[in-house]
A and B are shown apart, each in its own frame.
Chain A
Amino acid sequence: MTTALLQPHTESAEFMPAKIDKVSIVVSKGSLDGIYPGLIMANGARAEGITANLFFTFFGLDAIHKARHEHIKIATVGNPGLHLVTWLGGVPGMSSVMTHYLGSKMEKLDIPSIPEFIEMIADTGCGLFACKASVDLFGLTREDFIPQVDDIITVGEFYEKAAGGHIIFT
Chain B
Amino acid sequence: MSVVSLPVIDLALNEEGFFLHPEDWREDMVPALAAREGIDQLTDRHWQVINFMRSEYFAKGTGPTVRVLGKTSGVSIKELYQLFPKGPAKVAARIAGIPKPRGCI
Q: Which residues on A are within 8 Å of B, measured CB to CB?
A: 1-9, 16, 40, 43-44, 46-49, 110-112, 117, 120, 123-125
Contact = CB atoms under 8 A, between A and B. Distances in A.
Interface size range on B against A: 20 to 34
A6 B11 contact: yes
B73 to A, nearest CB: 14
Contact residues of B: prevailing secondary structure: mixed
A1 B14 contact: yes
Nearest to B79: A123
Given A4-B11, A49-B85, A111-B105, A120 B67 contact: yes
Contacts, number: 73
Contacts of A9: 17, 36
B104 A6 contact: no
Which among B12, B32, B81 has the greatest number of chain A C-beta atoms within 10 A?
B81
A46 B66 CA distance: 9
8 contacts: A1-B12, A5-B8, A43-B67, A44-B104, A47-B88, A112-B67, A117-B105, A124-B77
